[in-house]
Amino acid sequence: MSEHALLKKALLNATRSMTQAKNDGYRPGWHLSPLVGLLNDPNGFIQFAGQYHLFYQWNPLACAHGAKWWGHWRSDDLVNWQNEPVALLPGDVYDSHGCYSGSAVDDNGTLSLLYTGNVKFAQGRTAWQCLATVDDAGEVTKAGPVIGLPEGYTGHVRDPKVWRHGEHWYMVLGAQNLQQQGKVLLYRGDTLQQWTLLGEIAGSHLNGLGEFGYMWECPDLFALGEQDVLMFCPQGLPAQAQRWLNTHQSGYVTGQLNYSKAAYQHGDFHELDLGFEFYAPQTTLGDDGRRLLFGWVGMPDENEFYDPTREQGWMHIMSCPRELRLVEGRLYQQPVDELKSLRGAHQRLEERADSLAITDVAQAELVISAEGSWQADFGGAMLLICDESGLRLRRQNRRTGETETRYWSGQVRQLQILCDRSSLEIFVNDGEATLTSRYFPAEGHTLRWQGSGELRVDHWQLQSIMLV
């Protein structure tokens, strides 16, 4: 289908669905979400010429996965955002079945996008890694494929993350070999048009790992402190007692990338977020030296199509923007300081948990310190349990109705919880762990406190963002 025909269909869907989607009570007030249709992976996150750009996987035609587009937002402050022209549409032979995920770089003053062109056949699929450029008006020009499908891999090779090191460009790609094992490939480029495959630097049966998933998606390799951090999303890890409980995982390893030998020695795999919905994170290096992250508050191949927002014509949100730190070899995540500008009315609560008044958490920030055990019931749809063992986050599965639980083990000293109508982002001990989840309360956006623990709670109402 031509780009012109796709735009006509998207405009028709927006005309039919926009009012209903906009007025949905689960629509976030300060998280980024699609006007209509389905949003997933953050793409092309970059600070360029002083402004932040966040592209995103988008199907504006329906609440379904399909031939993805790239939407585009721009911001001066990571808080208020502006819609930009649609960046990429799947209208060419090399991206006919979707402009899949990728990244953005500053190529001598030109904002350049690297993405995966997905092409499906009756007998299978292939993938092209493609280049495009963005002009000052936000218009995108495709340059076409720069890397074809490497020998020895299935058509599941995607999600280029590109950066500059020394005199060369480097790229990591998520891949699946012919034995259906997940891998990360490293490329080097003299330019963004010319690339050489250096080899596999991580994956199943490498660097001390055994069998570790059938596909690794969304790789992101960056330096943080004295370490090189590789984030990725391994698919196919079997669930264990209190970890790897989602259908697919999002996590990281730390180590050292040897650029001259194209080798990466790393340590153990750690989950990046322990909640029900968090996937496909992408980072960028800000002008001030901060390593910043957005993630998709969703989970593929699980229960996403049971979300009630689907019936309202839209699906999924982005996480809040987060800053990353490396502390004793572990990634810490915290909301960026800029989000404090959304704080409105404040109150402090200090009482036994079961004596606290019901709290409005439609759009709210909570900072909690406590002694003893307590629980927080979010609108009858999500239960947070805090005791000497750590945290448990509990809800009913929207497909099966069964109770499901996520865990963090350790001593809870402080919690910061960001609430936005249908989402919770829980930050433990100044970012030592996070638990991100969607929830859809039928009883209103309220929090009921339970238990004998003594709590001190700072509560802020959060204003809505500007999205124009």
Q: What is the pLDDT of residues 109-143, one digit of tens each?
A: 999 999 999 999 988 999 999 999 999 888 999 99
Say if 31 falls within a structural domain: no
Buried b (16+ CB within 10 A) or exposed e, 40-75: bbbbbbbbbeeebbbbbbbbbbbbebebbbbbbbeb
The one-character DSSP state at 149 is P
Q: Is the pLDDT of residue 413 over 80?
A: yes
State residue 122's pLDDT score. 87
* CA 361 – CA 108 distance, rounded (Å): 45
Query: What's at 266, amino acid-wise?
Result: H
Residue 414 located in a structural domain: yes
How do beta strands 99-107 and 81-83 pair?
unpaired
In our burial notation (b when 16+ CB lie closer than 10 A, e otherwise), range 146-184 reads bbebeeebbebbbbbbbbeeeeebbbbbbbbbeeebbbb
- Digit-coded pLDDT (tens) for 162-194: 999 999 999 999 999 999 999 999 999 999 999
Tell me the mean pLDDT in the region 98-107.
Answer: 98
Quick: pLDDT tens for 13-63: 888 888 888 889 999 999 999 999 999 999 999 999 999 999 999 999 999
**pLDDT (tens digit per residue) in 229-280:** 999 999 999 999 999 999 999 999 999 999 999 999 999 999 999 999 999 9
Per-residue confidence (pLDDT) for residue 463, from 0 to 100: 98
Q: Residue 239 has what pLDDT?
A: 95
Which of 4-8, 208-212, 286-290, 433-437 is predicted with the least confidence, judged by mean pLDDT?
A: 4-8
- What is the predicted pLDDT for the residue at 19? 86
Say if residue 1's pLDDT is above 80.
no
Residue 409 — pLDDT band, cuts 50, 70, 90?
very high
Assigned domain for 390 exists: yes
Q: How confident is the model at residue 10 (pLDDT cuts 50, 70, 90)?
A: confident
Indicate whether 365 belongs to any domain. Answer: yes
Residue owning tokens 């034995």 = 179
Domain assignment present for 442:
yes
Using the predicted structure, report yes or no on whether residue 432 has a pLDDT greater than 80. Answer: yes
CATH number at residue 405: 2.60.120.560
Which residues constitute the domain of residue 359?
Answer: 337-462
Domain count, the chain: 1
Establish if 252 belongs to a structural domain: no
Query: Average pLDDT in the 289-313 region?
Result: 96
325-329, 385-389, 463-467: least confidently modelled range: 463-467
Overall average pLDDT of the 406-429 stretch: 98
Query: What percentage of the chain exceeds 90 in pLDDT?
Result: 92
What's the pLDDT band for 427 if we cut at 50, 70, 90?
A: very high
Average pLDDT of the chain is 96
Q: Which residue has the tokens 């945290």?
A: 391
Which are the catalytic amino acids?
41
Cβ count within 10 A of residue 88: 29
Residue 449 has a pLDDT of: 97
Lowest mean pLDDT among 119-123, 307-311, 447-451: 119-123
In the prediction, which pLDDT does 15 show?
A: 87
What average pLDDT does the segment 427-454 reach?
A: 96
DSSP 8-state code for residue 321: P
90 part of a folded domain: no
Residue 249 CB-density burial (10 A; 0-12 exposed, 13-18 middle, 19+ buried): buried
Do 279 and 301 contact (CB within 8 A), yes or no?
no
Nearest CA to 373 out of 449, 453, 457 is that of: 453
Rounded CA gap, 385 and 61, in Å? 40
Q: Does 381 reside within a domain?
A: yes
Report the pLDDT value the prediction gives residue 468, as an integer from 0 to 100: 77
* pLDDT score recorded for residue 443: 84
- Sequence-separated (6 or more) residues with CB below 8 Å from residue 150: 157, 175, 185, 197
